[in-house]
Amino acid sequence: MFKKINLKGKTALVTGAGKGLGKACAIALAEAGAKVIILSRTKSDLDKVNKIIKKTKGSSQSFVCDVTEPEEFKKVLKKISQLDILVNNAGNNRPEHFTKVKQESMEYLTDLNMKAAFNVAQQSSKKMVKAKNRKKIGGSIIHMSSQLGKVGCEGRNVYNMNKFGVEGLARGMAVELAPYNIRVNTVCPTFVETPMVKKFFKNKKFKNKMLKNIPLGRVAKESDVATAVAFLAAESSEMITGTSLVVDGGWTAQ
């Protein structure tokens, strides 16, 4: 009756896998038995993740790749033979008040969080639908969204725009890829203890204010999010598509 999270025989590609959530997802998917393809712009980060996966007796392969360069990503896809799961994770944020957002920040964030997310998802989907047995074995695409893909927040207007967009993309993709039995979902975490958030939380006033918005009174751990991603990647969730798994300690329930 209960379907365990088991990814044996599956190949998963994770973008932004050098640090933070991407790294955690890559390791979690490997722990669940998947062969993991990890992408990042920084080779030394990839080496570290490879080492951890090796230690846990998992299997991984890494590529240095800037996902905002579609041609670079295409080359990576050509080098891998199988793809069943995509964790579309690479993303960034630069908090600025709406009236002060620099044109350059808006374009940088939107190019990475939306355009690159779209391109990576589209190219990966093209590869996934080519597998002859796809309908039978299924596929799963997980976009790393955010609670800020559901609600607004101060200084997060560009990030809000990007992540609400990703939520829309996921639903559209879910409808179009359903005939191939490829499921598409998002994970919407609250603030997670990652290098990116640690930087924001150096501002203690901001940190306390944000914690007050999380009813459970704690930030999420990387493992909380990575486990949710693994759940959506596996057949445990084989009828879950076009929706979000919100991992926010109650933030958006208010």
Partner 1 sequence: MGIFLKEINLKGKTALITGATKGLGRGTAQAIAEAGGNIIAIGRNQSELNSLAKVIKKLKVEYTSFNCDVNDYNRMKDFITKLKKLDILVNNAGTNIPESFLNVKKSSMEKILNVNTKAVFNVAQLCANQIIKLKKKQGSIINISSIFGLVAGQKRTVYSMTKFGVEGLTKGMALDLARYNIRVNSVCPNIVLTPRTKKYFADKKYNKYIKENTPINKVVTISDVATSVTFLASEAASMITGTSITIDGGWTSK
Respond yes or no: is residue 180 known to be catalytic. no
Q: Does 171 bind partner 1 (CB under 8 A)?
A: yes
Pattern of binders to partner 1 over 234-253, x per CB under 8 A? --xxxxxxxx-xxxxxx-xx
Q: Does 111 bind partner 1 (CB under 8 A)?
A: no
Instruction: Please tell me whether residue 24 adopts helix, strand or coil conformation.
Output: helix
Stretch of 74-82, 119-127, 157-165, 231-239 lying at the interface with partner 1 (CB under 8 A): 231-239
Reference 167, options 178, 191, 151; nearest CA is 151
Sole residue written with tokens 């570290």 = 48
Reference 58, options 17, 3, 10; nearest CA is 10
Q: Does 91 bind partner 1 (CB under 8 A)?
A: no
Stretch of 20-28, 38-46, 81-89, 204-212 lying at the interface with partner 1 (CB under 8 A): 20-28
Rounded to whole angstroms, how far apart are CA atoms 167 and 171? 7
DSSP state of 112: I
* Contacts of partner 1 in 181-210 (CB under 8 A): 181, 183, 189-190
Reference 29, options 56, 47, 48, 51; nearest CA is 56
Q: Does 56 bind partner 1 (CB under 8 A)?
A: yes
Query: Cβ closer to partner 1: 83 or 225?
Result: 225
Residue 231: how many CB atoms within 10 A of its CB?
Answer: 19
Which is catalytic among the residues 159, 191, 231, 251?
Answer: 159
* Contacts of partner 1 in 35-54 (CB under 8 A): 52
Residues annotated as part of the active site: 159
